[in-house]
Chains A and B, each alone.
Chain A
């Protein structure tokens, strides 16, 4: 059953050099994300991944098309949607001088919920840092903490924007384990990533975006078979990186 349905979603921005002209950051994408999946959105920089997430989260206005989460229309009921989603943003600085426990209590208050901070922190393996300030955490710990913040309302859908960017391999695997655990407990997870290994091993289905358009959407295995398959009979050798490069080309982006 689809928990997120996106139809012809589009977002245009004025061009920096010519304000009267527009470019489409997201150019009419349609998606169905099932309840209980880990869904990955892949794409080069500027492909429109973050804008897509931000439209679903209600951070950015939807110019055309529609999106529903758990049957609620995002554009017309943003506050209802916000109550059932958890969001981890790329930038995750917090108030100075406030401990992790206090921050979780604050985030709980924003949802008018009592929060068991210790329980949340132990979920993300940060219980020993309960009184620490976010600034003193390592990169991996900060990412795990911002996931804890996104969990205060026990969301149906968890959005993660490039959760493993900049993490070392240990921290990365640790975070994947956390995502799998949350998913096992029934949470739908939508994440964006540059990391092919992440897309391949963590996500159950992936969508590849380029220039604001959706150019492929399937399970990693199917995509490999379709775009990077070895000759028949031979064991599968290609990987999602081959798929990605085959679809988006080798040119440098940024």
Chain B
């Protein structure tokens, strides 16, 4: 059998139109399958909000000097800190109770003339991890305040510029991966479950006594299911963009182009599963074998580069890796299709593998009986 992918024939389009109507009737499952990704995105949207919480800093000002007051005022004005000024004993209590992250004590002799006055910082060692980050920050702030007081010109100033010139939250990173993962799940389940259900009901057998060819049947189901998955993903993307303010930097058409290719791959793989597994339980089990490793290995939730060196080469060859990498490059970095050629080649190879496997494994006589 020569391998070829043609444009859908009139028959295939007509059939897929009929199947689309059939699938659209099942609105419940169409919408319930969106439930999990929406919850997921929302949770990450709120947990990883843009702003870093200001550090809660208590200040005990034992000095009445102008310098001490100005110094305190500068800390109050600094957005990094949420400053409370009060008595030492009171703030110590608050620190113990966890209401303050740290307490800074300005000594009595803290004034313009002081040389090496001892500032005391009270911390709660239980929050050691956070302190490791905060203390250098505090030191920096104190130093720059000191410079200002003493009118010392700093040797340099450091401006931090995001080279990618946009704000990126974890959610922005997550969205393309989550979309890729969702399209895999919806597609595999969509076609795999359909096949097993149709077999159980004897529908496949009934279809088999008509002159429809497996290729036409597969194409029709794939096209119809693809339309459903595209609708589902569009709802998710709209939700992410409109409600959670996720930004998709790249070209929308390129983004959808990858989505369509990916959906095709996983629908075909779902067909393979449905052809192998004879019951819903079996298709679930086999489906999980395909789905689970890819969740962890395909850079959906964190970059592939953060995985052990040994696994990376294999992980990068998984179909979901190619799809999620391509989607992320487009969504996060505004990559053009041309610039993600390696991913596109991987996707194309899987496209062919999946289609050939599906048409070879889906044999009427074996699947229908």
Q: Do A and B come from one complex?
A: yes
A83 within 8 A of B: yes
B211 within 8 A of A: yes
Known: A82-B210, A97-B26. A59 touches B205 (CB 8 A): yes
B74 nearest CB across to chain A (Å): 69
B166 within 8 A of A: no
B280 nearest CB across to chain A (Å): 15
Within 8 Å by CB of A91, from B14, B15, B25, B202, lies B202
Q: Please determine whether A89 and B26 come into contact, CB atoms closer than 8 angstroms.
A: no
Known: A59-B368, A109-B15. A91 touches B205 (CB 8 A): yes
Find residues 99-136 in chain A having any chain B CB closer than 8 Å to their own CB. 102, 105-107, 109-112
Q: Which residues of B contact A112 (CB under 8 A)?
A: 11
Find residues 58-89 in chain A having any chain B CB closer than 8 Å to their own CB. 58-61, 79, 82-83, 85, 87, 89
Which 4 residue pairs of A and B lie closest in terms of their CB atoms, listed nearest first?
A91-B202, A97-B25, A93-B201, A110-B210
B18 within 8 A of A: yes
B203 within 8 A of A: yes
Known: A91-B201, A93-B203, A95-B203. A57 touches B18 (CB 8 A): no
How many residue pairs at the A-B interface have CB separations less than 8 Å? Answer: 69
B22 within 8 A of A: yes
Report the interface size class on chain A.
Answer: 20 to 34
Q: Which residues of B contact A83 (CB under 8 A)?
A: 211
Known: A91-B202, A95-B203. A109 touches B25 (CB 8 A): no
Known: A59-B368, A97-B25. A92 touches B206 (CB 8 A): yes
Q: Please determine whether B11 and A109 come into contact, CB atoms closer than 8 angstroms.
A: yes
Q: Which residues of A contact B365 (CB under 8 A)?
A: 59-61
A202 within 8 A of B: no
* Nearest chain A residue, comparing its CB with the CB of B209: A87
A138 nearest CB across to chain B (Å): 19
* Nearest chain A residue, comparing its CB with the CB of B208: A59
The distance in angstroms between the C-alpha atoms of A85 and B211, with both chains bound, is 10
Interfacial residues, chain B to chain A (CB-CB below 8 A): 11, 14-15, 18, 21-22, 25-26, 198, 201-203, 205-213, 365, 368-369
Q: Please determine whether A106 and B368 come into contact, CB atoms closer than 8 angstroms.
A: no
Given A82-B211, A91-B201, A105-B18, 14 more contacts at CB 8 Å? Answer: A60-B365, A61-B365, A79-B211, A82-B210, A89-B209, A94-B201, A96-B26, A97-B22, A97-B26, A98-B25, A106-B18, A109-B15, A110-B211, A112-B11
A109 nearest CB across to chain B (Å): 5
Q: Please determine whether B369 and A59 come into contact, CB atoms closer than 8 angstroms.
A: yes
The distance in angstroms between the C-alpha atoms of A61 and B364, with both chains bound, is 11
Known: A59-B208, A79-B213, A109-B11. A92 touches B202 (CB 8 A): yes
Within 8 Å by CB of B206, from A85, A89, A97, lies A89
* Nearest chain B residue, comparing its CB with the CB of A83: B211
The distance in angstroms between the C-alpha atoms of A105 and B15, with both chains bound, is 10
Q: Please determine whether B202 and A89 come into contact, CB atoms closer than 8 angstroms.
A: yes
Q: Which residues of A contact B201 (CB under 8 A)?
A: 91, 93-94
Q: Please determine whether B209 and A57 come into contact, CB atoms closer than 8 angstroms.
A: yes
Q: Please determine whether A82 and B18 come into contact, CB atoms closer than 8 angstroms.
A: no
The distance in angstroms between the C-alpha atoms of A176 and B1, with both chains bound, is 45
A130 nearest CB across to chain B (Å): 16
Q: Please determine whether B202 and A98 come into contact, CB atoms closer than 8 angstroms.
A: no
Q: Which residues of B contact A95 (CB under 8 A)?
A: 22, 198, 203
Q: Please determine whether A102 and B211 come into contact, CB atoms closer than 8 angstroms.
A: no
Q: Please determine whether B208 and A102 come into contact, CB atoms closer than 8 angstroms.
A: no
Within 8 Å by CB of B18, from A79, A93, A109, lies A109
The distance in angstroms between the C-alpha atoms of A85 and B26, with both chains bound, is 32
* Nearest chain B residue, comparing its CB with the CB of A85: B209
* Nearest chain B residue, comparing its CB with the CB of A105: B18
The distance in angstroms between the C-alpha atoms of A70 and B208, with both chains bound, is 20
A146 nearest CB across to chain B (Å): 8
The distance in angstroms between the C-alpha atoms of A98 and B24, with both chains bound, is 11
Q: Which residues of B contact A58 (CB under 8 A)?
A: 208-209
Q: Which residues of A contact B25 (CB under 8 A)?
A: 96-98
Q: Please determine whether B26 and A94 come into contact, CB atoms closer than 8 angstroms.
A: no
Q: Which residues of A contact B22 (CB under 8 A)?
A: 95-98, 102
Q: Please determine whether B369 and A60 come into contact, CB atoms closer than 8 angstroms.
A: yes
Q: Which residues of B contact A107 (CB under 8 A)?
A: 210
Within 8 Å by CB of A110, from B21, B198, B212, lies B212
Find residues 10-59 in chain A having any chain B CB closer than 8 Å to their own CB. 57-59
